Amino acid sequence: MRIFKTFKTFMRIGAVAAAAITAGSMLGGCSSDALSGTVSTDGSTSMEKVIGTLGEAFEKENEGVTFTYNPTGSGSGIQAVLDGVCDIGLSSRKLKDEEKSEGLKETVLAYDGIAVIVNPENPVSDLSIEDVAKIYTGEITNWKDADGSDGEIVLIGREAGSGTRDGFESITGTSENCKYRQELTSTGDVITTVAGNPNAIGYASLASLKDNVKALNIDGVTPAENTVKDGSYKVQRPFILVTKEGTALSETAQKFFDFATSEDAAELISSAGVVAAK
């Protein structure tokens, strides 16, 4: 009888030990499946808000992952992918044919309006695309000729290679003809400069606007998420994720890419002020 009880006790201990080993194995399996590593992105300063929102959400869901964003401008981000110094490039313009010929691939993440902005003190509230073109090419040089107050128009724009500049000039038909007073290297710099000069005009990502500037209606249409989505606001461009054909992303970078371009990310993208492609 004593031997039987001892045997039963041994079996119970063995069962507990086996369960502990099994549980340990399961936890070990979960640990090995946990995502880790770094996702590096580089490029468009206009995409700062949307890419930051997506990166923060991805890090929150994957505690072992570090997400980085280098705001260098669209042209630099595209080059960074070619040079292999980042996982994913960010561009606020479509890729050019010569860039595609080098093996680059574009995936549309979202659509963003390019707002034409002035100082809040400026009485002008609406311009046609034609008037915007005349202002930026120097045909109209005083605000009084655009239904504003008497004052010389100060033209603020982005540097060569900027996706925002490329989109703005392409849509307004002003490529290579703009008479900029200042060419600045980030969306934030444009907004700050226009906010500080009552006679200034500039352009910036709709998603990045603050209360210190006023976005003009273009051809009677207010720049907003719904007007970008339905296409009635014409001054808009895509936000692009840039990768290289034949070069596989790391597991972590691919997981982020899949997450960012999924329908599940649409609400996050919308919360950043742009229109999700999906």
Considering the domain 112-236 in this protein, what is its CATH number? 3.40.190.10
DSSP string, 23-63: HHHHHHHHHHHS-EEEEEEEE-STTHHHHHHHHHHHHHH-T
Q: Are strands 214-215 and 200-205 parallel, antiparallel or unpaired?
A: unpaired
What are the C-alpha distances in Å from 156 to residues 64, 180, 188, 195, 201?
42, 6, 12, 11, 6
What is the pTM for the complete model shown? Answer: 0.81
Identify the three-state secondary structure at position 103.
coil
Between CA 162 and CA 92 the distance in angstroms is 8
Between CA 99 and CA 86 the distance in angstroms is 16
Looking at residue 195, what is its pLDDT? 98
Query: Which letter does DSSP use for residue 214 in this model?
Result: E
Considering the domain 36-110+238-276 in this protein, what is its CATH number? 3.40.190.10
Domain 36-110+238-276 matches domain 112-236 at the CATH topology level: yes
Nearest Cα neighbor of 119 from 212, 2, 28 is 212
Sign of the dihedral defined by the CA atoms of residues 99, 183, 51, 230, in that order: negative
pLDDT values of the chain reduced to their tens digit, one per residue, 278 residues:
444 333 333 344 344 344 443 333 333 333 346 899 999 999 999 999 999 999 999 999 999 999 999 999 999 999 999 999 999 999 999 999 999 999 999 999 999 999 999 999 999 999 999 999 999 999 999 999 999 999 999 999 999 999 999 999 999 999 999 999 999 999 999 999 999 999 999 999 999 999 999 999 999 999 999 999 999 999 999 999 999 999 999 999 999 999 999 999 999 999 999 999 98
Looking at residue 106, what is its pLDDT? 98
Between CA 180 and CA 135 the distance in angstroms is 10
Domain ranges, ordered by start, for the chain: 36-110+238-276, 112-236
Work out the end-to-end distance of the chain between its first and last CA atoms, rounded to an integer number of angstroms: 72
Sequence-ordered list of residues with C-beta below 8 angstroms from that of 91, at least 6 positions apart, any chain: 43, 44, 74, 77, 78, 106, 163, 239, 240, 242
